[in-house]
Amino acid sequence: MSHPSFSAADHAALDGGRHLSPVDRLLVTFDSAMRTVFASHAAARPMPQAEQPDGALSEADKRLSSALMRVNHVGEVCAQALYTAQALGTRDAAMRGRLEAAAREETDHLAWTEERLRELGGRTSVLNPLWYAGAFGLGLLAGRAGDKISLGFIMETERQVGEHLDSHLERLPVGDLRSRAVVAQMSEDEAQHADMAHAAGGTELPAPVRGLMRAAAKVMTTTAHYV
Q: Are 180 and 50 in contact (CB under 8 A)?
A: yes
Nearest to 47 by CA among 168, 158, 165, 181: 181
pLDDT of residue 15: 40
CATH fold of 58-224, please? Ferritin (1.20.1260)
CA distance 111 to 115: 6
The string of pLDDT tens digits covering residues 186-205 is 999 999 999 989 998 999 99
Among left, alpha and beta (phi > 0; psi -120 to 50; other), residue 16 is: left
Residue extents of the structural domains in the chain: 58-224
Whole-prediction pTM value? 0.86
pLDDT of residue 20: 66
C-beta neighbour count of 93 within 10 angstroms? 8
pLDDT of residue 129: 95
pLDDT of residue 99: 84
SS3 annotation, the chain: CCCCCCCHHHHHHHCCCCCCCHHHHHHHHHHHHHHHHHCCCCCCCCCCCCCCCCCCCCHHHHHHHHHHHHHHHHHHHHHHHHHHHHHHHCCCHHHHHHHHHHHHHHHHHHHHHHHHHHHHCCCCCCCHHHHHHHHHHHHHHHHHCCHHHHHHHHHHHHHHHHHHHHHHHHHCCCCCHHHHHHHHHHHHHHHHHHHHHHHCCCCCCCHHHHHHHHHHHHHHHHHHCCC
Residues of the chain with pLDDT under 70: 1-20, 22
CA distance 133 to 141: 13
User: What's the whole-number average pLDDT of the chain?
Assistant: 87
CA distance 2 to 153: 32
